[in-house]
Amino acid sequence: MHILEGNAVTKHFGGLAAVSHVDFAVDPGQVVGLIGPNGAGKTTLFNLISGALVPESGTIRFQEAAITGLKPHLICRKGLARTFQSVRIFPHLSAHANVQVAALFGRTDRRSVAEANQETVELLEFVGLSGLESLPAKDLKLPSQKRLEVARALATQPQLLLLDELMAGLNPTEVAGAMDLVYRIRDRGVTLFLIEHVMKAIMSVCDRIMVLHHGEKIAEGTPQEIATSRAVVDVYLGE
Residues forming the site for other proteins (CB under 8 A):
13-14, 35-44, 50-52, 71-73, 76-77, 81-82, 84-86, 88-93, 97, 100-102, 104-107, 113, 116, 141-143, 152-153, 155-156, 165, 168-176, 197, 199, 235-239
Instruction: Report, in Å, the least distance between residue 3 CB and other proteins.
Output: 18
Instruction: Report, in Å, the least distance between residue 238 CB and other proteins.
Output: 4
30 or 44, CB closer to other proteins? 44
Give the span between the Cα atoms of 127 and 206, in whole angstroms.
Answer: 20
Is residue 60 within 8 A of residue 74, CB to CB? The reply is: no
Instruction: Report, in Å, the least distance between residue 34 CB and other proteins.
Output: 12
Instruction: Report, in Å, the least distance between residue 72 CB and other proteins.
Output: 4
107 or 217, CB closer to other proteins? 107
27 or 216, CB closer to other proteins? 216
Give the span between the Cα atoms of 237 and 239, in whole angstroms.
Answer: 7
32 or 155, CB closer to other proteins? 155
3 or 19, CB closer to other proteins? 19
14 or 189, CB closer to other proteins? 14
Instruction: Report, in Å, the least distance between residue 14 CB and other proteins.
Output: 8
**Burial track 58-91 (b if 16+ CB lie within 10 A, e otherwise):** bebbbbeeebbebeeeebbbbbbbbbbeebebbe
Backbone angles phi, psi at 210, to 5 degrees: -115, 140
Is residue 10 within 8 A of residue 200, CB to CB? The reply is: no
Instruction: Report, in Å, the least distance between residue 128 CB and other proteins.
Output: 14
Give the span between the Cα atoms of 133 and 227, in whole angstroms.
Answer: 40
β-pairing verdict for 208-213 and 31-35: parallel
What sign results for the dihedral spanned by CA atoms 14, 16, 21, 26? negative
